[in-house]
């Protein structure tokens, strides 16, 4: 994803350049105030900024600063509503050690045109590497054979050092950013209750609080990170006060305080039997979940204000033909026109228009990931995470 790194162009009277940068042979050009220049650059995509680092020394210094990288990421991710994001995934078939990136903007804008997957050969033995999550433009990689973790920014090509952990087999896990302490953490649950917190930068593993024992089942093993709240979230079924009573709640983990809590679900009216577990995801940086009725109708709910029960609202209803799969409906992204990118229970990717209820199957060329099944026909054995381009550097 990184553009070619050309030499730094020095000495031209470009906007934002300093007097020292200027070439007396060039005509004098008006110079924008620094604050306006910064505001303009903050709105630009990562690919353009990487190229603009070659304009002059002052731009290179500005764009290379960690604060600018984080401000650019926050402004772009909030303004673009996932359109400049991608799905990052790895294959569980173990034939090829490759990580794929599926851009979302062409899927939403031109679903009838073919969208190509960009894949990276990770240069290790097959079955050795998996993706554990993505946050702030950093991908968490787990090398199974050596029991090591690292963070990788595919846009800049930068990566942290590998650091070794004690456990490889996780019952549950989640990757996110602790904005209070400026730390990236992978939270893992070993066995049934042992919580281990792996902190990048410090390259340390510590024992966290016991995983809540009332949980009798989770819908999915991967915790969903909600930026701004600093929490990882799982859909969990807990035991109630009465005998044989079970209820679904959202189990949350605060990355700063390293404590567990619960987030309530909305009151759901009856609409038929639920044949599969609810599926938890994040859309527009808000918690979402899907729940089915008789395996033919799926409702998509969104929590507009994290932790506030009254802020739950149903944003879409997806009607499907009756099928034999007991898999949930999984939302991955939503466009500014409320078009949802979904994975159907039969593991196919589809675009759903909320206003008309129509389904569109986008054309995707995934030949570069060397998988036997094209991604447009089946996503089997692929594990997906939402990824945003960024300039953020991994901690060392």
- Cα(43)–Cα(172) distance, integer angstroms: 37
112 inside domain: yes
Domain boundary among 78, 112, 136: 78
Residue 218 sits in the same domain as residue 303: yes
Residue 292 sits in the same domain as residue 364: yes
Residue 54 sits in the same domain as residue 120: no
Residue 73 sits in the same domain as residue 100: no
286 inside domain: yes
For residues 179 and 22, the model is more confident at 179
Other Cβ atoms less than 10 A from the Cβ of 25: the count is 8
Phi, psi (degrees; rounded to nearest 5) at 203: 50, 55
Structure tokens at 381: 């054995």
Mean pLDDT of 223-243: 82
- Cα(352)–Cα(113) distance, integer angstroms: 17
For residues 240 and 368, the model is more confident at 368
Mean pLDDT of 243-257: 82
Residue 137 sits in the same domain as residue 250: yes
Residue 116 sits in the same domain as residue 159: yes
Residue 155 sits in the same domain as residue 92: yes
Predicted local confidence at residue 26, as pLDDT: 52
Predicted local confidence at residue 33, as pLDDT: 83
Domain boundary among 63, 78, 93: 78
The DSSP bridge partners found for residue 302 are: 288, 313
Residue 143 sits in the same domain as residue 277: yes
Which residue in this structure is represented by tokens 């996503």? 379
268 DSSP 8-state letter: P
308 inside domain: yes
- Cα(219)–Cα(241) distance, integer angstroms: 21
18 inside domain: no
48-100 pLDDT, tens digit each: 999 999 888 888 999 999 999 999 998 887 655 545 689 998 876 655 678 88
Spell out the SS3 assignment of 137-203: CEEEEEECCCCEEEEECCCCCCECCCEECCCCCCCEEEEEEECCCCEEEEEEEECCCEEEEEECCCC
The number of distinct structural domains making up the chain is 2
Predicted local confidence at residue 84, as pLDDT: 63
102-130 pLDDT, tens digit each: 999 888 888 889 999 988 888 766 557 88
Q: Over pLDDT 90: what percentage of the chain?
A: 35
Residue 73 sits in the same domain as residue 157: no
For residues 367 and 15, the model is more confident at 367
295-323 pLDDT, tens digit each: 678 889 999 999 999 999 999 888 876 55
Residue 111 sits in the same domain as residue 69: no
Domain boundary among 43, 78, 113: 78
191 inside domain: yes
Residue 173 sits in the same domain as residue 70: no
Residue 46 sits in the same domain as residue 193: no
| Domain interval for residue 313 | 85-388
29 inside domain: no
Q: Share the mean pLDDT of the chain.
A: 81
Looking up residue 203, the CATH number of its domain turns out to be 2.120.10.30
9 inside domain: no
19 inside domain: no
């Amino acid at each position: 994803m990184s553009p070619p790194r050309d030499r730094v162009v020095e000495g031209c009277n470009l906007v934002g350049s300093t007097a020292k940068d200027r070439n007396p042979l060039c005509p004098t050009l008006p110079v924008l105030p620094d604050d306006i220049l910064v505001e303009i650059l903050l709105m630009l995509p990562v690919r353009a900024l990487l190229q603009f680092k070659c304009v002059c020394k002052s731009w290179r210094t500005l764009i290379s600063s960690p604060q600018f990288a984080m401000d650019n990421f926050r402004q772009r991710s909030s303004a673009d509503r996932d359109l400049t994001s991608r799905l990052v995934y790895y294959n569980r078939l173990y034939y090829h050690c490759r990580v794929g990136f599926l851009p979302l903007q062409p899927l939403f804008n031109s679903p009838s045109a073919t969208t190509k997957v960009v894949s990276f050969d990770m240069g290790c033995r097959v079955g050795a590497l998996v993706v554990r999550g993505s946050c702030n433009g950093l991908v968490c990689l787990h090398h199974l054979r050596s029991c090591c973790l690292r963070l990788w920014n595919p846009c800049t090509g930068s990566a942290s050092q590998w650091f070794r952990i004690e456990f490889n087999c996780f019952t549950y896990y989640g990757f996110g950013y602790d904005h209070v302490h400026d730390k990236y953490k992978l939270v893992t649950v070993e066995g049934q209750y042992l919580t281990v917190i792996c902190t990048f930068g410090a390259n340390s593993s510590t024992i966290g609080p016991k995983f809540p024992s009332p949980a009798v089942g989770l819908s999915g093993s991967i915790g969903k990170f909600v930026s701004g709240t600093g929490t990882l979230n799982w859909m969990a079924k807990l035991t109630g006060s009465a005998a044989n009573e079970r209820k679904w709640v959202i189990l949350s983990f605060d990355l700063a305080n390293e404590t567990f809590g619960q987030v309530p679900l909305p009151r759901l009216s009856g609409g038929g039997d639920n044949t599969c577990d609810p599926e938890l995801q994040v859309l527009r940086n808000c918690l979402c979940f899907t729940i089915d009725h008789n395996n033919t109708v799926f409702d998509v709910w969104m929590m507009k204000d994290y932790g506030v029960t009254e802020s739950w609202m149903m944003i879409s209803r997806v009607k499907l033909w009756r099928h034999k799969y007991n898999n949930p409906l999984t939302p991955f992204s939503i466009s500014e026109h409320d078009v949802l990118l979904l994975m159907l229970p039969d593991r196919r990717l589809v675009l759903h228009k909320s206003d008309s209820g129509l389904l569109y199957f986008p054309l995707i060329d995934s030949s570069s990931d060397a998988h036997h099944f094209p991604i447009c026909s089946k996503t089997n054995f692929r594990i997906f995470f939402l990824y945003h381009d960024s300039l953020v550097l991994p901690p060392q």
